[in-house]
Every structure is written in C-alpha cells, then in structure tokens.
Amino acid sequence: MSAIAVSPEAAPDVTADYVTRVQIDRSCRQTVLGYYASAVAWLLIGSLAALITSVKMHHPEFLGNYEWITFGRIRPVHLNTVVYGWSSMVGIGTTLWLEARLCKVRLPHRALLPATVIIWNAGVVWGVYEVLAGHSTGVEWLEFPPQVLGIFGFVLLVLFWVSLKMFNQRHVHHTYVSQWYLFGSVVWFPILYSAAILLPTTGMVGGAAWATTNWWYAHNVLGLYVTPMGLATIYYLIPKVTGKPIYSYHLSLLGFWANALFYSWIGTHHLVGGPLPAWIITLGIVGSIMMFVPVTTVAINHHMTMIGKFHMLKTSPTLRFVVFGAVSYTAVSYQGSLEALRSVSHVAHFTHYTIAHAHLGMYSFYTMTMFGAMYYIVPRLTRNEWSSVPLIKIHFWTTSLGVLAYFCALSWAGWYEGEMMNNPLIPFIKIVDYTKPYLVARSLSGSFMTIGHIAFAILVFRILRSSDVSMIGPTLFTSKRGMMRWRRKEA
Amino acid sequence: MNRSWSFIAGVLATILFSMMGLIFVPNWQFEQLKPVVDQNGISHPTPPAGSVLLGREVYISEGCLYCHSQQVRSADFGADIQRGWGTRRSVARDYIFDRPHLMGTMRTGPDLENIGARQPSREWQYLHLFNPQITSPGSIMPPFHFLFKVVDKGGPAPVGSVDLTANASPTKKASYLVPSGRAQDLVDFLMSLNHSYDLPEAHQ
Amino acid sequence: MSDRIIGPGDSPPQKYRVEAEPDPAALVAPTMREMSEPTDGIAPTPVWLLLFFFVLAGWSGYYIARNAGGFRADIYNEHYIAGAAPSLEKPAPADPLVLGRQTFNVCMQCHQDTGKGIPGTYPPLEGSPVVLGDPATPVRILLHGLQGDITIEGATYNGQMPSWDRFSDEQIAAVLTYVRQAWTNSAHPVDPALVAAIRKQTGERAQPWTWPELVIASKTPPPSATEPAEPKPAKP
C-alpha cells in the first residue's frame, strides 16, 4: 500500500484501527453526505445571490424592477444562505464525522440524523423565502423569522445530544484538541442562537441593548461556532495528512480556553463610535486585543506542525486548502484585533474594509478549510476518488486568487472610503464615485470564486453519483492521467 | 479535560459571563433611561406610531439598513456632524423605543439618523426613492420603482403625487409620480427621523 | 441503544459484515492509506509568548482603567471626565467659507456639489442671478423656503425649497457667502446681521415664499440692512 501513501516518510496506518475507521465512515455516510450535498447546493445559491448583490452595487438598475430581489433583500439572502446554508451544513457534517473518528465510535441515531438534514434545509428555505417576500426581521445575521429557532434549535439539540453521547462512549483515553473545539461549538451555538432570538423578541432586551445583543451574537457566530469548527478541522487534518503530531498540547489548551474567554466579548467592536457608553466599547476592544493570545498560540501550533512538510502542499489538495485556511485564520484574526482599535475603526468602520475583513474570515479561512475537509472526507464516505485533477486545480486557483483579489480591492477601497468620509469637504457622491471601480473588481473576483464553486460542485456531484466506479490511488495535484484508472467495483 | 460535564460547565461559564457583560448589564443600564421633556412640553424621543411604524416596516423589508446607518458619531470621531448628519452625537436614549434597532454597520449611503431634519422635502424623497439618479446622478442606491405608479399628465394631478419631468420619467413624457401607500409610509418614517432635540449626555 | 461501540480489537459487528462489499481493497482504499489519528506533541510553551501575554494583559488592564468611563451609563466619550465642561465639541469653524462649505453638504442633496441643480426641478446656484444679486432674497428663501415655479435664465424649475430657519444667522450667512463665491460665482460676502434683520422682519411668516411674493418683498429693504438694497431680481 505504501505506493499510494500520501506521504512518503510516514507509513499509513493499517493496523486493526482501520477496520474501526471503515465502520465509522460507513455509519456517517448517509448523514454527512447529506449535509455536504446540501451545503454545496447552498454554496451555489449563496454565490448566485452574492453576484446579483455585487452587480447591483455598481449597476443599481440591474434587475431593479423586481421587488423580491431588490438589493436590500438579496444581500441578506446571500449572507444567510452562506452562513446557515453552506457554512452551517458543511460544518455540522464535518463535526459529526470528526467526532465519530475522534471518539472511535459509530455515529448514533442513524435514522434521526439524516432526517435533520432535511429539517435544517427546510429551515433555510423557509427563512430565505420570508426574506425575499419582505418579512425580514431587520436584524443583521438574524433576518430569518424568529420561529426558525424552532427548526434550527431542534437540530442543534440533536447535535448536542449526539455529540455528548459519542463523547461519553468514546474509545480513546486522551481527548484530542479538535474534540474540545467541536464540543464547544455544539454547546455554544444553541445558546447563542436562542438567546439572540428570544431575549429581544420576548421584550426582555430592547433599544440600544438590542444592538449589543445583535453584535454579541453576530460576532460569536464567527468566534464560537464557525471558528471552532474550522480550527478543529485544521487541527485534525494537518497532522492527519502529514503524519506529524500537532506541535504542542500546552499551546492547544491555552489557545482553546483563551479563545473561549476572550472571543465572547469582542462583538461590540462593531459599534465603536456608536451610541453606547464608553465601557461597552472598551470591553469589546480589550477582548479583541486579547485575542492575540489564542490566535498566536493557534498559529504557532498549526504552522510549526507544518514545518518540514511544506512539500506536501504540492501534492495534497486537502492540505493545500487547509493550510490556506490556517494561514488566513492567522491573518484575519490579527487584522480583526487591530481593526477593533478606536483609531483604526475611526476610518475602517462603516466601509467596505469591514466587508473585505469578513470575507477573509468566512471565506479565506473557514470556507477554504471546509473545502479541504470535504476533499479528505468525501472519498472515505463514498469509497471513491475525486474524478478530475484539472477541476480541483481550477477550484483551488479560482477561489484562492479570487478571494485574495476581493480582499485587496475592498480593503483598499474601504480604507480610502473611510478617509474620505472623515473629510467633510468631500461630497458624499464623490466617495460613491471613488468606490465604483472597486465594486466592479469585487464582482469580477466574485465571479472567479463562483467558477471555482461550480467546478467543485461538478466534482462533488460526480463523486456522489458514480458510486459504482472507483479509481486506484488518491487524486493528488500531481496525479497523472495514467494513475487514474477507473475500475468497476464488482457489486 | 476528560470529563464532559466539567468541560461543558467551563464552556458555559465563558458564554454566560459575556452575556452578562454585553447584554444584561447594558440592558439594565438602558432601562433606566426615560424620554426628556423640552421647554415646549414635548417629550423626546417619541415612540413611532401609525404610518411611521408602518414605514419602519417598509424600511426593514426593503433592506435600507444594509447601506444606511442610523447613528451619529461624536464631533471628535469622524466628520458626521460636519457633514450635517446631526447636530450632536447619538446616545442610547435616542433608541429607547427602537424595536428592533436599526443602527446599521454600513455607510454605502449617508447616515439617516436625522434625515427628516436634513431633507424635509417629501417631493425630494419620492423622486429619490423612485429613481435615485433623478436627484443624485451617479448614485448607487437602488431604484424603488415598484413603490410608485407613473401617470401621464393630462388629467388632474392624483392626490399626493409629485411632478416628474420628461427626462426623469420612464415614459419620457412629463408625468405624475404617484407614491403607493407603502412609499408614503416610508417617507413618513424618514420624516420622523429627526433627533435634533438636546440630551444632557450627548455633549461629550 | 442498538449502537455498538467498536473499539480496536472488537470484531466487526455482524450487521457490518452483511453490508460489506466483496472487494475490500477498493472499498476502503482511502481509509486504508490514511495515517493514524492525530496525536499531541509536547513542545513547551515558549517563554517569550508568556511574556507577550503578560504585556497584553497589562495593557488591557490599563486600557480599561483609562477608557471605561467608570462603567457609567452616561459616559460616551472615553476621554470625558465626569463633571467636566462639555468641551469636546469642536467649535464651528471661524472661517465663513469653511463653515459655509460644511453647511452646503446639506444643500447638495438638491443643488448638487457642482451647484448646477437638477433640470426642471432644482435650480442651479452657479451663475444664478438670484444667488448673485441682492443677498436679501436668498436669505428670505433660506429662512422660509420657496414653492411654486421659478424661472432662472429662461428655464423653469418646480421643486420645493424647504425652510432652513433652524440654521443660525452665522451659518446662513456663511453658506450664502460660500455659494456666492464657489464655482465660477463671485459676489461679496453676506453679513450675519442682514440675516438677523430679515429673520426679525419676516418672523411672522408661516408660509414658504412664492417667486412673485419675493419680487414684491425685495422692494422693501430690511430695516437695518447694512448694504444698500439694490435688487437685481431674476426675470420671472
């Protein structure tokens, strides 16, 4: 088997353990693939919504006669489909698989879990419909009707229950760091989500405190839900693919608890300069600066593990995507900490700079990491190999270059937009004019990313559908045509 | 970290701690805020009601908040006041009746916290909403054609309509622009956005 | 629960074997070639890192002490000291041209930053005889607004001009001075005293002006106008 090992030095693990793995993968198959397939569908829908939004920003008349897709509706549709459709579903799928693998137990509740795929999808569809029909709640990141809580909340409870069960029945003595993050996100998110919906809608919180609740939620979605899932994946996949142990247990521990402690405070940096007493803003800023602690530890841990294994980026699609995500995580977190400072926020707040930052986080870090995860996990569940090296290459280069171009264009435009906005002698319309070329650049880089998503969707579609053929050997960037022989499984 | 319950307890503690600090304590502080009464006996801010409240719904439903903030920053933080977006900074008391809050995080367009004071002309608002290019050539604000009807001139002017010049009209003929009920509500809401009253804590 | 936990060494449960495909090698190829589950290294936490964290924590404590406004609900500006005079508001610029330009930010919504207005609706300010003529007329318009048609240089405009009486005398004088000197315009500055005088004279008025009314009003000079009232009205 060593001929097809991913890494030449480390030997693949073919001990009795692998029987367990096969069984675990099999137990995950239906659920995780269900989540993944839905996630990719939402990714495509989200990209379409993003493109329409983006074009409307420089050509406001584009599809301007249709109330259902006016800018103010299609934009939240983009955000909610990529957050609750793509990111959540790909994250939940990955969480379940990772937990099963890390606990060495089969996925329990194999009738209920696939049903949650349908239930979650129904929630997103309903929410999107309500937003398009003009019934948004008007609270950013929570535009879906509050009743969706019933749907998502149910699935999240199932998820919590399943995670707890697997954790209590685990067949390992040592709890690996990914496990903490996943378990953290499974506990945090239901609380976040229900608090952010219930507190205001029951009237317990209102007025300006609704704004702090809103941003407490919206930033914690990133920090206590999306980031833990992304980091758990990176923590798992870098050692898994390279065969090296993660650099330091102590750093993992420090990083996890520092993240838990500080991240939950930083949401109010979205209101710097806003109508909130100084102390609330100050706490948000301090939380953001203290995020240097977990971020630095995580960065050392990830990047030190990679040392000596960089050559594998040439071959392994998984590793390349995941390391791209890990590097982006470091970058976006440092940027975010600095952005919270009053002196930076003074310029960057309210501008496209923030949008660029958000995409560096949600896309460059999280989404790229999840692409990597899917490249790793899906072949194990389908017992199939990815069908085309060129498509993977297209996927990687369009998305990575696309998001970089996106980030650069909007950061630059946003910063100058902010500088101009702070100069009262520049007419507002001049600022609008200034940003227009960059908004066009955004549409172009967004189209690039969408091309990548389509390539990826084709790959996923093929690997899911052709369940009766398999290839010999993994699909690496360096795989040659000859190595990709198709073989019919004798079924 | 091998016992799940102690782990869960730790994880819960962190989030409850921040909930306390960022939700409950601020909410408790803001609950003490009451409207102020000016020399004329009018209390500020006033809760939105009637068409203003309906207009607020339209504002939310059309997603104006993704491009417009509703908060004025202080004089030493940005140029909001010099741009004429307000006469003083916004403070939590301005929002005591806001459900939900519409503070916003983007300024693709100007701040609207005081648009009622800055642009008191309904006619301008209708023309601008119908097609921002009429009043603000080069704007990237979307047109809201679907909130209006265009009627050829000839008959009597429909109630509440405004004149549309030939080059502004989609029919290329001088017409009347008739706002729908929702457009009227929306403009009522915009008109009500006026926080020019004075507050003691807003001078910092 | 029917879920059996499988540990290393357990034999695969019966259920699995029934489902197993005949070609195990192809079946599990990806799973077989993978590395064992990740493990933790034991590299110690570097000392410089801990130092860095202590510095950050120290900074945070200092920042909170300096900028939290005593955790009070009524302190918004972190530099504000409770009880101090509200001195942080920037005084209005002394230069009328700068103040005027800032005030003009509001006027731009209709008259545009180019001062060219919107054809048919909002009249231009650049080169307009109303702007450049007797300043009393634009002062009146600013104080009470204008409705109905107005004709400037042969073109008719029907937009409504709202009243700006909430602006101070200095601000109205400044913005008119700015407008009279911006673009290609050049006319002498407007004195705040003139604004004050007209405000007093027309204080009773509740309606916006119409153009014919303004023509009549321009015949009566304001009581204490500092400049000779030499109306140069636009031809209506």
- The answer, for C83 touching chain B at a CB cutoff of 8 Å, is no
Residue B24: burial class (beta carbons within 10 Å; 0-12, 13-18, 19+):
middle
Distance from CA of C53 to the nearest CA of B (A): 19
Distance from CA of A379 to the nearest CA of B (A): 31
Distance from CA of A106 to the nearest CA of C (A): 7
Cβ atoms A153, A196 nearer than 8 A: no
The four Cα atoms A17, A21, A24, A28 give a dihedral, to 10 degrees, of: 170
Mutation site for A-interface testing, chosen from B2, B7, B11 by largest number of A Cβ within 10 Å: B11
Cβ distance C86 to B204 less than 8 Å, yes or no, reads: yes
> A179: nearest CA in chain C?
C38
Q: Give percent above pLDDT 70 in chain C.
A: 76
The mean pLDDT of A439-457, rounded to a whole number, is: 97
Cβ distance C86 to B121 less than 8 Å, yes or no, reads: no
Across the interface, which of B117, B165, B202 has its CB nearest the CB of C120?
A: B165
Cβ atoms C187, C134 nearer than 8 A: no
Residues B111-132 have pLDDT tens digits of 999 999 999 999 999 999 999 9
**Model pTM?**
0.91
Between A21 and C91, name the one with better pLDDT. Answer: A21
* pLDDT higher than 70, residue C17: no
H-type alpha helices, A341-388: 342-348, 352-359, 368-382
Location of structure tokens 């402690």: A261
- Residue B152's DSSP bridge partners are B175
Helix axes A148-168, A177-201, angle to 10 degrees: 150
**For residues A248 and C65, what is the distance between their CA atoms, to the nearest angstrom?**
35
- The answer, for B60 touching chain C at a CB cutoff of 8 Å, is no
> A439: nearest CA in chain B?
B140
pLDDT at A4: 36
Residue A262: burial class (beta carbons within 10 Å; 0-12, 13-18, 19+):
buried
Least confident of A88-102, A120-134, C90-104, C168-182: C90-104
Pairing mode, strands B148-152 and C155-157: unpaired
A-C contacts (CB, under 8 Å): 214
The mean pLDDT of A388-397, rounded to a whole number, is: 93
pLDDT at A375: 95
**For residues A475 and C79, what is the distance between their CA atoms, to the nearest angstrom?**
60
Reported as type and span, the H/E element at residue C152 is: strand C150-152
Shortest CA distance to A274 belongs to which of A375, A342, A359?
A: A342
Residues A306-334 have pLDDT tens digits of 988 888 888 899 999 999 999 999 999 99
- Identify whether C44 is preceded by a cis peptide bond (ω within 30 of 0): no
Reported as type and span, the H/E element at residue A149 is: helix A148-168
Domain segments of chain C as ranges: 96-217
Across the interface, which of A1, A251, A385 has its CB nearest the CB of C32?
A: A1
* pLDDT higher than 80, residue C82: no
Q: Give percent above pLDDT 90 in chain B.
A: 73
Long-range interactions of A116-119: CB distance < 8 A, separation 24+: A116/A31, A116/A154, A116/A155, A116/A158, A116/A159, A117/A31, A117/A34, A117/A35, A117/A38, A117/A89, A118/A34, A119/A151, A119/A154, A119/A155
pLDDT at A18: 73
Least confident of A126-140, A471-485, C134-148: A471-485
Give the chains touching B; criterion: ≥3 Cβ pairs < 8 Å: A, C
Residues 87-116 of chain B with CB under 8 A from chain A are: 89-92, 94-103, 105-110
**For residues A296 and C100, what is the distance between their CA atoms, to the nearest angstrom?**
50
Fold (topology level) of C96-217: Cytochrome Bc1 Complex; Chain D, domain 2 (1.10.760)
Cβ atoms C100, C175 nearer than 8 A: yes
* pLDDT higher than 60, residue C188: yes
**For residues C1 and C79, what is the distance between their CA atoms, to the nearest angstrom?**
62
Distance from CA of A121 to the nearest CA of B (A): 23
- The answer, for A266 touching chain C at a CB cutoff of 8 Å, is no
Reported as type and span, the H/E element at residue C151 is: strand C150-152
Centroid of chain to Cα A128? 19
Number of DSSP helices (H) and strands (E) in chain B, helices first: 7, 5
* pLDDT higher than 90, residue A449: yes
Distance from CA of B77 to the nearest CA of A (A): 6
End-to-end CA distance of chain B: 48
Sorted by sequence, the CB contacts under 8 Å of residue A236 that are 6+ apart come out as A98, A101, A102, A176, A178, C38
pLDDT at A68: 95
- The answer, for B183 touching chain A at a CB cutoff of 8 Å, is no
B165 interaction partners in chain C (CB closer than 8 Å): 119-121
B23 interaction partners in chain A (CB closer than 8 Å): 195, 199, 205, 209, 212-213, 216
Q: Is C155 helix (H, G, I), strand (E, B) or coil?
A: strand
* pLDDT higher than 90, residue B51: yes
**For residues A297 and C204, what is the distance between their CA atoms, to the nearest angstrom?**
72
* pLDDT higher than 60, residue A46: yes
> B202: nearest CA in chain A?
A275
The mean pLDDT of A431-439, rounded to a whole number, is: 96
Reported as type and span, the H/E element at residue A79 is: helix A71-80
* pLDDT higher than 50, residue C74: yes
- Identify whether B156 is preceded by a cis peptide bond (ω within 30 of 0): no
C107 interaction partners in chain A (CB closer than 8 Å): none
Cβ distance C119 to B167 less than 8 Å, yes or no, reads: yes
The mean pLDDT of A380-398, rounded to a whole number, is: 90
Q: In the 8-state DSSP scheme, what is residue C121? A: T
H-type alpha helices, chain B: 4-19, 25-31, 50-61, 115-118, 122-130, 132-135, 181-192
Across C177-210, b (16+ Cβ under 10 Å) vs e yields bbbbbbeebeeebbbbebbbbbbebbeebeebbe
pLDDT at C97: 87
Cβ distance B117 to C121 less than 8 Å, yes or no, reads: no
The mean pLDDT of A9-28, rounded to a whole number, is: 72
CA atoms within 13 A on the CB side of A251: 25
pLDDT at C223: 64
pLDDT at C27: 54
- The answer, for A283 touching chain C at a CB cutoff of 8 Å, is yes
Residue A268 CB coordination number (10 Å): 27
pLDDT at C1: 35
The mean pLDDT of A22-43, rounded to a whole number, is: 94
Mutation site for B-interface testing, chosen from C97, C110, C157 by largest number of B Cβ within 10 Å: C110
> C77: nearest CA in chain B?
B204
Mean pLDDT, rounded, of chain B: 92
> C78: nearest CA in chain B?
B204
Cβ distance B204 to C77 less than 8 Å, yes or no, reads: yes
pLDDT at A472: 59
Location of structure tokens 């197993």: C20
**For residues A267 and A274, what is the distance between their CA atoms, to the nearest angstrom?**
13
Distance from CA of B5 to the nearest CA of C (A): 21
Cβ distance A210 to B99 less than 8 Å, yes or no, reads: yes
Cβ distance A283 to B108 less than 8 Å, yes or no, reads: no
Q: Is A64 helix (H, G, I), strand (E, B) or coil?
A: coil
- The answer, for A255 touching chain C at a CB cutoff of 8 Å, is no
C30 interaction partners in chain A (CB closer than 8 Å): 379-380, 383, 385, 474
- The answer, for C162 touching chain B at a CB cutoff of 8 Å, is yes
Sorted by sequence, the CB contacts under 8 Å of residue B6 that are 6+ apart come out as none
Which string of DSSP letters, residue by residue, matches A434-447? HHHHHHHHHHHHHH
Across the interface, which of B29, B90, B110 has its CB nearest the CB of A428?
A: B110
Least confident of A309-318, A469-478, B176-185: A469-478
The token pair at B103 is 């503070």
Q: In the 8-state DSSP scheme, what is residue B122? A: H
Cβ atoms B69, B85 nearer than 8 A: no
Amino acid at C85: A
Residue A358 CB coordination number (10 Å): 15
Sorted by sequence, the CB contacts under 8 Å of residue A469 that are 6+ apart come out as A384, A486, A487, A488, A489
Q: In the 8-state DSSP scheme, what is residue A101? A: H
pLDDT band, residue A186 (cuts 50/70/90): very high
Distance from CA of A68 to the nearest CA of C (A): 28
Cβ distance B124 to C90 less than 8 Å, yes or no, reads: no
Across the interface, which of A4, A249, A281 has its CB nearest the CB of C41?
A: A249
Cβ distance C76 to B76 less than 8 Å, yes or no, reads: no
pLDDT band, residue C9 (cuts 50/70/90): very low
pLDDT at C86: 55
Residues A206-265 have pLDDT tens digits of 899 999 999 999 999 999 999 999 999 999 999 999 888 999 998 999 999 999 999 999
Cβ distance B75 to C106 less than 8 Å, yes or no, reads: no
**For residues A5 and A323, what is the distance between their CA atoms, to the nearest angstrom?**
20
Cβ distance A140 to B62 less than 8 Å, yes or no, reads: no
Shortest CA distance to C140 belongs to which of C231, C49, C52, C56?
A: C231
Residues B81-91 have pLDDT tens digits of 999 999 899 99
- The answer, for C60 touching chain B at a CB cutoff of 8 Å, is no
Across the interface, which of C12, C43, C70 has its CB nearest the CB of A19?
A: C12
C31 interaction partners in chain A (CB closer than 8 Å): 18, 21-22, 25, 380
Across the interface, which of A136, A274, A429 has its CB nearest the CB of B138?
A: A429
Give the chains touching A; criterion: ≥3 Cβ pairs < 8 Å: B, C
Cβ distance C80 to A281 less than 8 Å, yes or no, reads: no
pLDDT at A474: 73
Cβ atoms A22, A383 nearer than 8 A: no
Mean pLDDT, rounded, of chain A: 90
* pLDDT higher than 60, residue B184: yes
Residues 85-104 of chain B with CB under 8 A from chain C are: 89, 91-92
Cβ atoms A409, A360 nearer than 8 A: no
Cβ distance A183 to B90 less than 8 Å, yes or no, reads: no
Cβ atoms C76, B91 nearer than 8 A: yes
Helix axes C47-67, A292-306, angle to 10 degrees: 160
**For residues C116 and C154, what is the distance between their CA atoms, to the nearest angstrom?**
15
C28 interaction partners in chain A (CB closer than 8 Å): 18, 22, 383
- The answer, for B203 touching chain C at a CB cutoff of 8 Å, is yes
pLDDT band, residue C93 (cuts 50/70/90): confident
